[in-house]
Amino acid sequence: MNENELVRKLNSVGKKAFVMCFELYRDYAEGIISRETCIERQVSLGLSNESGAAIRCGNAKAIFKGEMVCEALGLISTSGRLSVETINTAKELLKTCEK
């Protein structure tokens, strides 16, 4: 996956959603939870409807499977359009990439 594809997929997930549901997407990408569970949890959080949640799950999984998580978090942490809370959370998650 190149950077343009990453940006497209990240925009489909939503930068805030990617950070907010990071563990959920990671668990889905690693096969710990099912697609249905990934969708249901997003709907219960009020993040989106079922079809939107399905799109988010698929694109987030592609970012994890493409091993572009650190790059995605880097893009999020330098965004000027997100809340300070979202950016700070992305920076904290990015620290796991350095280990």
pLDDT of amino acid 3: 93
Q: How is residue 40 written in tokens?
A: 């249901």
Q: Average pLDDT of the chain?
A: 96
Q: Are 23 and 29 in contact (CB under 8 A)?
A: no
The average pLDDT across 32-44 equals: 98
Q: In this model, does residue 98 exceed pLDDT 90? A: no
Q: Are 21 and 47 in contact (CB under 8 A)?
A: yes
What are the residues whose beta carbons fall under 8 Å from the beta carbon of 5, sequence distance 6 or more? Answer: 66
Q: How is residue 98 written in tokens?
A: 């350095």
pLDDT of amino acid 67: 96
pLDDT of amino acid 92: 96
The average pLDDT across 55-64 equals: 98
Q: In this model, does residue 75 exceed pLDDT 90? A: yes
Q: Are 76 and 82 in contact (CB under 8 A)?
A: yes
Q: Are 17 and 56 in contact (CB under 8 A)?
A: yes
C-alpha triplet 11, 57, 43: angle, nearest 5°: 100
The dihedral formed by the CA atoms of 61, 40, 14 and 24, expressed in degrees to the nearest 10: -50
